[in-house]
Amino acid sequence: MAEREFKLYDTMTRQVRPLQPLEPGHLKFYTCGPTVYSYAHIGNFRSFLAADLVARTARALGWRVSWVTNITDVGHLTQDDVADAGGEDRMEKALKSKEGERFANVWDLAEFYTRAYLEDWARLNLSEPTVRPKATQHVREQILMALALVERGNAYETPTGVYFDVESQPDYGKLSGNTRDKLQEAVRDVVLDENKRRQADFALWKKDDKHLMQWFSPWGWGFPGWHIECSAMARAYLGDTIDLHSGGEDNAFPHHECEIAQSEAFTGKPFANHWMHVRFLQVEGEKMAKSAGNFFTVRDLIGEGFDPIALRYALISVPYGKPMNFTIQLLRDAEGNVGRFREARRRAAGSALLPSSSGAAPPADAGGDSGAELAANLDRIYDEALEAMCHDLNTSVAIAKALEGVKAVLREPSLDGSMGEAAVRFLDQVEALLGICPVERDDAGACETALIDGRAIESWIDERTAAKSAKDFARADAIREKLASEGIELRDSPEGTTWSRKPKL
């Protein structure tokens, strides 16, 4: 295959340009992860899914991918500038909330939500990053970096902490456009901290011996500032200069701007060569907010009976660079399409046992070598899907291509062995690239989120099958309706009757 370019929009240069790993064929990629003070919502996951798709696409190109995504398990202040007033951080706030009652302390809480996050990650079929470091396990690196920045004159100590001096990096603001001069005008009603030289200066370390999470540093007890953790962890695992850094659009400023400033001041080298920002998600046309009643976590929707893979499908169906309007209708549409992938898998698996018409000794019949034809067709379609992904992750087109392939498979009235093989290979490739047609696991779906008695359903199905063979269709239909009213859908096929849950929402 000819060398293919992987193009992505770069926030820094504001243009779509090829991703160019410093070390050819080896992508070093950092993604800002969540603060684990609550369950992640679907907007969080839209961002992580975009990163997952970058990693998948790069792997599909044969690149080695070193993908690091952190877990922020330190609670950072809700207001940077008021170190003392309230002194409450997100973790602490969560601990005091109703949901937080069951936790012994913030560490316990962070552990709980970290686990939930990893579960959601797996349910949505995101691929595993190379390393998933935790901020609390890299406090030493953060302190050392802050210390070096003070020694170099890029940061200074105050009675309340250590602050990065934004004036020391003249190009501060180059990513977001919030340059130092513009910041002066733009700032609205932010509380001023007289300890800081300039209002745009940000904390590397907060002195606080009453904080629920604290470490000892050259400046006494306290905790690290938010931005420094990503700089420290990215450097620890990926080196001074990384190829790509991603996050939600809100991260561009101030978080990424601050990362750039401190990392580049520290190493004297460019921090990241490419920046990717994922647009926010809206729900039913409005900003997702708890007060609006349109706030969905991953587990909320799965709990309603929606297929996690369909949720994934829906969340990636709109390219990451556009604001996305998530709707229940979109999720329903996704379920239908994910069902087609399943159907294709089912049929392909069933065909594997049948002899190939194009086997070792192909009978040169008039029918031709349709196995080879299908394979060639699917190869072409997959290649077009990959091409779409290489064009700034055009998931809309890539998914359309994947569906085109599925249609080609389902169109065949019957699949022989070689066609089945081609179909399986295609589905595996699409799965590796997009993650929307995983091989079913036995434990998938079914009873885990609702209390459904699978055995009772089976016996109803048996009874209905008996009624059907006795031509007692009224009885058979009554059973179908009874189960339907309980959210169970039956489906007859030549191999027998199967059941599945129907979402309530």
**In this chain, which of 127, 253, 357, 383 binds RNA, going by CB under 7 A?**
253
Between residue 407 and residue 436, which ones bind RNA under the rule CB under 7 A? 407, 410-411
**In this chain, which of 140, 182, 482, 504 binds RNA, going by CB under 7 A?**
182
User: Which stretch, 17-25, 63-71, 231-239, 248-256, contacts RNA (CB under 7 A)?
Assistant: 248-256
* CB nearer to RNA: pick between 18 and 359: 18
**In this chain, which of 200, 301, 374, 433 binds RNA, going by CB under 7 A?**
200
Tokens coding 270:
């460019």
- The verdict on 238 binding RNA (CB under 7 A) reads no
Ramachandran class of 6: left when φ > 0, alpha when ψ lies in -120 to 50, beta otherwise: beta
- The verdict on 502 binding RNA (CB under 7 A) reads no
- Integer-rounded Cα Rg, in Å, for the chain is 27
- The verdict on 176 binding RNA (CB under 7 A) reads yes
- The verdict on 18 binding RNA (CB under 7 A) reads no
The SS3 of residue 76 is coil
- The verdict on 192 binding RNA (CB under 7 A) reads no
- The verdict on 211 binding RNA (CB under 7 A) reads no
Torsion of CA 440, 442, 448, 452, to 10 degrees: 110
Between residue 73 and residue 92, which ones bind RNA under the rule CB under 7 A? 76-81, 90
User: Which stretch, 317-325, 353-361, 366-374, 439-447, contacts RNA (CB under 7 A)?
Assistant: 317-325
**In this chain, which of 44, 57, 154, 358 binds RNA, going by CB under 7 A?**
44
User: Quick one: CA dihedral 223, 154, 148, 229, positive or negative?
Assistant: positive
- The verdict on 324 binding RNA (CB under 7 A) reads yes
Minimum distance of RNA from residue 161's CB (angstroms): 10
Task: Show the site string, 470-489: x = touches RNA by CB under 7 A, - = not.
Answer: ---xx-xx--x--------x
**In this chain, which of 224, 247, 308, 405 binds RNA, going by CB under 7 A?**
247
d(C-alpha 231, C-alpha 264), whole Å: 9
**In this chain, which of 319, 371, 405, 420 binds RNA, going by CB under 7 A?**
319
Tokens coding 172:
């501060």
- The verdict on 104 binding RNA (CB under 7 A) reads no
**In this chain, which of 177, 220, 359, 454 binds RNA, going by CB under 7 A?**
177
Q: Which amino acid is at 470?
A: A
- The verdict on 397 binding RNA (CB under 7 A) reads yes
Say which residue the tokens 């629920």 belong to: 212
Length of the chain in residues, anyone?
Answer: 505
**Which residues, listed in sequence order, are joined to residue 69 by a DSSP beta bridge?**
31
Question: ∠ at Cα 233 (240, 69), nearest 5°?
Answer: 110
* Residues sharing a CB contact under 8 Å with residue 14, sequence separation 6 or more, in sequence order: none
Number of helices (H), then strands (E), belonging to the chain: the values are 15, 16
- The verdict on 231 binding RNA (CB under 7 A) reads no
User: Which stretch, 144-152, 177-185, 266-274, 304-312, contacts RNA (CB under 7 A)?
Assistant: 177-185
**Sequence-separated contacts (24+) of 459-463 with Cβ below 8 Å:** 461/490, 461/497, 461/499
Question: ∠ at Cα 270 (266, 276), nearest 5°?
Answer: 120
Between residue 274 and residue 303, which ones bind RNA under the rule CB under 7 A? 278-282, 287-288
d(C-alpha 224, C-alpha 204), whole Å: 6
